[in-house]
Structure 1
């Protein structure tokens, strides 16, 4: 037998190495297909998303396209291994979870971006296996539960964002182990305060955002160890205490600092030499504005409003020559406006209102030729309006009301050609109105009331865009408007002057009325014929759209919801009348008690039998409901979801047993349970709800219909704002057009002119509701006096005693309750001001109502008048 010779050992070793070298190639090929299958499996768990743009869909994620993984939408491969290196599905409107995502299949992933989708559920701890990640962005989703501590295993991370989710629990201290992270964004969540002392410094960190995170500790001390920070945002939390001295000395590279809406105390932080933006509004900072603020030569934006800063405005502020925005509103500043402010040649916005400044207006302001907004109102300024103000050719808003300015209106004011809003009311201005004001072709609102002006109004002046014009409480003569009757408004003694051309107007009216009448009839007939034809097409389109919606049993339901729409329908016997608990002009509300014991409210909005819902609005309505399901606030009703069935839209809300505020206010509860403390609590809750919608939601949400009937009450009388969003369904040419702008008696007056809904419309409606809650009746007389052309009606209301205006069913409040009621009433009166720009923001109102200490009463409660409250 022939003996087989064994190969030499070194040859066996070479063969072994050869075969091993082939393994990575095989593994890579296998891994690529494995990854493709894993992505397809994950995609199968996605909810259908009708709003995906055609060029961004995920059709490429297919079993028929397994070998083309590197060309799939949202996928970037490593050039060498041909395996997935990056997954970027930002802005895809995907509704899904990460539970079905196989993290172990993508261990070489370097970027994982799911920004701005509808991902929900927990962030799995398995995410800590992606040890090569440099970018992780899960911002603007619906992720819940806690931040997994395993994130700390991602030691290569340079960018980490969880912003805008519903994450809860404490911030894991292990995050500070991410020594390479430069961008850390945890804001917009519901986090709990951590033990900051166990956090280590993060030497690479340049951007840190904890805004809107529900944190309530003192200043996080680990931040002072992050010496490379250039951006720090701690706004909209409940941080307390003083800013540690170490922050001043260690954060020398800081360029952006936002501390807005917290409860920080002590001296104002200022010693940051490279600072460009300083936002410290809505806090409890006290003491003087530090003189060394002049060393911040790169400062561009300074907002210190609504604090307790005192002393004077330091002249050193004029050294901050790069300032474009300066707001010192609502502090306790005294003394003069420094002339050095004229050195701020880049300044565009200057707001010093609601202080105790008592000097003259410096003529040097005329050097700030880039100013577009100037507000010095509600101070004690004296002397004249400087003629140099005419150099401000870009100025659009000028508010000097509620001061002690005297002398005449300077003719140079007419050279501010861009002026849109001008308010000089409640001063001691004298003389006649200068002819040069005719140059103000863009003026929309002009208030010269409550001065000592006299003479006649120049006949050459005609403001083509003027919407609001106030001249009451002056010394004008009866012939003030002779020759210019178009400008008749509410000035004293103008009735005869306006009647001086009465006969001429009769002739004009006698001709115009018949002509206009015939024109209106003709146009109406044409419109009816046109809309009748369009209505048929619109209804067909609506029905078609509704049928598409009905392909889904339920849409956009919250993750926590454990019931189906079918169960709801069964619980109310297919919308039987006996389950109806409310009827409105645009739908009905039903109470559904489910088998699980849960109770929900169902609002049914009819579509198919209404000409008021154009088909084009259905998609925008669906998008808005998507937004509303993400709204989480203790003072806003929970919206569980949105369904469509049988030509109707259904909104599913949580059910509150007490019902509406209106029901409680005007029922037995109004006397027995709605005491002053409870009413203040209700108003505060409503203020916080609207502040959240206006300032926390992106984009901001305007409610459009704030009334006592759209505020619901929990068992402990916590207010819950409800019933918003439906107004977008109705078109402007609808017979129900009033729903666009809200309910009569609560609508802002500017809507009658513009029909444009803005956040200040909500502010006005809030003011009406707050007054109604405190007065125990609708404040219609007060609202009418605000708009009335009769100066006497305004005078009479202004001199009303507060104690006589409040709900007479209750005993007058005393002690701290009296202060709280006065604060609510003064804020409410500010909210119903005719000029939208003079109303406060809901953020300001909410902050004032939540202040730790209430302002002292200017005089005994029983002697307070409404006029006094308007000045608080």
Structure 2
């Protein structure tokens, strides 16, 4: 609006300048006035004294008056041309300046007001960040993190009631996650990381760096961070239903997770993983995908979290990357040879599918000195249609269409293949799961098509 007003003022000034210049250029010439008075004089009578010869010739010569008029017209046209050139140049300079000013203003507005989204599906942090009154935007506290929100430590201390034990939501390898209640009863999760070495610092910077650039409905949203002495804090949105691991293997043992909800969780996780592999530039490998890093909101929408170990695809090799991950989810080629690709994430996703199907942990102790992985135990039964219904989690057994069960089992078998080249891309997995999820949960399955078929009774 201000730019439009400025433009109108400048155009008015230029119009005034143009009018004044043209007025000056149109002012009569003294010689022209003299000729006019001569031509308007009365014709001398015969009795009147004759003027000198030169004056008589000047007055009665038919070409002189026309030549003077042409000369005056030439001077007038020249002045008008000069005036037009000057005004046009001035207008061009002013309009060029206004165009440059408008472009710069638009870029700055977009940079400050917009946050990158995923194909129209991304979410804006502006309404969320506005709830933190003590938050200040910085751009250089952490290298290459752009404009990231720093939250003052006293605000975190007050929000978590001085990091009270009753506010602990979960515990990880480097610290605890607390529930924080900020202004206007806005809830968020505060991950506290106790820096005991370079690994913590590296993971902290890596997670803040990646999450500050990623915006997707199936990836946890970063709200801010804090550095306080040797302690690091990452503040994210709060997921009310905790992690998939807690829901499956906690006190409820998956009782809240129906077949449809489990398929929705798998679909959401696949969408988040597809965004990392296919839409991020360069692609991102999560490297620590597991049920405890899949968080669920109040509607059981799933989001990927914990990007401390994530790496950019193509920048890693056996010599410059430390072997990391969680037993039971690590792909065999990465564990044995250090080969890490997007297919390593696909393997971990296959393990999560098996957890959702069977309700079992990825690694279970057989004896105090012997463990068995879910892949090793389930693989022979997953390909046998007569045995498959018997190993399904009792909570969901006989509640799904057997055709859907066989299809999910087939996808899981492909994902956990020992050879990476035999595993599908996560996009292919996603397309296989979409038809199995009801429309109201984000898939394409119509409720009338989902008629449960009773399978064989457990042995």
Tell me if both proteins adopt one fold, taking TM over 0.5 as the criterion: yes
Equivalent position of 1:697 in the other structure: 280
Q: Distance in 2 between matches of 1:599 and 1:822?
A: 40
Shift of residue 7, structure 1, vs aligned partner: 6.1
Q: Is 1:586 the equivalent of 2:174?
A: yes
Q: How big is each residue's C-alpha offset from its partner over 1:30-52, in whole Å with a ceiling of 9 and x where there is no partner? A: 6666777x48975xxxxxxxxxx
Q: Is 1:18 the equivalent of 2:75?
A: no
- Counterpart contact for 2:414–2:423, Cα < 8 Å: yes
Q: Distance in 1 between matches of 2:237 and 2:343?
A: 28
Q: Distance in 1 between matches of 2:297 and 2:204?
A: 31
Q: Distance in 1 between matches of 2:84 and 2:108?
A: 35
- Report which structure shows greater RCO (CA 8 Å, sep ≥6): 2
Q: Distance in 2 between matches of 1:40 and 1:794?
A: 60
Shift of residue 772, structure 1, vs aligned partner: 1.3
Equivalent position of 1:322 in the other structure: none
Q: Is 1:670 the equivalent of 2:264?
A: no
**Which structure is larger by alpha-carbon Rg, 1 or 2?**
2
Aligned match for 1:861, one of 444, 451, 455: 455
Equivalent position of 1:656 in the other structure: 239
Q: Distance in 1 between matches of 2:419 and 2:148?
A: 40
Superposition map of 1:228-243 within 5 A: none
Q: Distance in 2 between matches of 1:569 and 1:833?
A: 47
- Counterpart contact for 2:204–2:232, Cα < 8 Å: no
- Counterpart contact for 1:768–1:779, Cα < 8 Å: yes
Superposition map of 1:811-822 within 5 A: 812-814=397-399, 816-822=400-406
Distance 1:822 1:564, change over 3 A: farther
Q: How big is each residue's C-alpha offset from its partner over 1:327-359, in whole Å with a ceiling of 9 and x where there is no partner? A: xxxxxxxxxxxxxxxxxxxxxxxxxxxxxxxxx
Q: Distance in 2 between matches of 1:614 and 1:5?
A: 85
Distance 1:844 1:667, change over 3 A: same
Aligned match for 1:846, one of 403, 418, 430: 430
Q: Distance in 2 between matches of 1:647 and 1:39?
A: 45
Distance 1:776 1:784, change over 3 A: closer
Aligned match for 2:120, one of 179, 189, 195: 189
Equivalent position of 1:807 in the other structure: 393
Q: Which has the higher helix share?
A: 2
Equivalent position of 1:351 in the other structure: none
Shift of residue 645, structure 1, vs aligned partner: 4.3
Aligned match for 2:160, one of 572, 579, 588: 572
Distance 1:764 1:621, change over 3 A: same
- Counterpart contact for 1:802–1:862, Cα < 8 Å: no
Superposition map of 1:543-558 within 5 A: 549=141, 556-557=147-148
Shift of residue 860, structure 1, vs aligned partner: 8.2
Shift of residue 98, structure 1, vs aligned partner: 3.3
Superposition map of 1:640-655 within 5 A: 640-655=223-238
Distance 1:811 1:572, change over 3 A: closer
Aligned match for 2:412, one of 828, 839, 858: 828
Q: Is 1:757 the equivalent of 2:340?
A: yes
Q: Is 1:98 the equivalent of 2:97?
A: no
Shift of residue 585, structure 1, vs aligned partner: 0.8
Equivalent position of 1:611 in the other structure: 198
Equivalent position of 2:356 in the other structure: 773
Equivalent position of 1:637 in the other structure: 220
Shift of residue 847, structure 1, vs aligned partner: 0.8
Distance 1:12 1:622, change over 3 A: same
Aligned residue pairs total 354
Distance 1:647 1:807, change over 3 A: same
- Counterpart contact for 1:589–1:601, Cα < 8 Å: yes
Q: How big is each residue's C-alpha offset from its partner over 1:577-617, in whole Å with a ceiling of 9 and x where there is no partner? A: 5543222112332222111332111223344x3132577x8
- Counterpart contact for 1:776–1:806, Cα < 8 Å: yes
Distance 1:190 1:786, change over 3 A: closer
Q: How big is each residue's C-alpha offset from its partner over 1:642-661, in whole Å with a ceiling of 9 and x where there is no partner? A: 45443444332110111111
Q: How big is each residue's C-alpha offset from its partner over 1:105-155, in whole Å with a ceiling of 9 and x where there is no partner? A: xxxxxxxxxxxxx83646xxxxxxxxxxxxxxxxxxx46xxxxxxxxxxxx
Shift of residue 572, structure 1, vs aligned partner: 2.9
Q: Distance in 2 between matches of 1:848 and 1:686?
A: 13
Equivalent position of 1:169 in the other structure: none
Q: How big is each residue's C-alpha offset from its partner over 1:283-339, in whole Å with a ceiling of 9 and x where there is no partner? A: xxxxxxxxxxxxxxxxxxxxxxxxxxxxxxxxxxxxxxxxxxxxxxxxxxxxxxxxx
Equivalent position of 2:297 in the other structure: 714
Q: Distance in 2 between matches of 1:565 and 1:760?
A: 40
- Counterpart contact for 1:586–1:606, Cα < 8 Å: yes
SS where residue 401 of structure 2 aligns?
helix
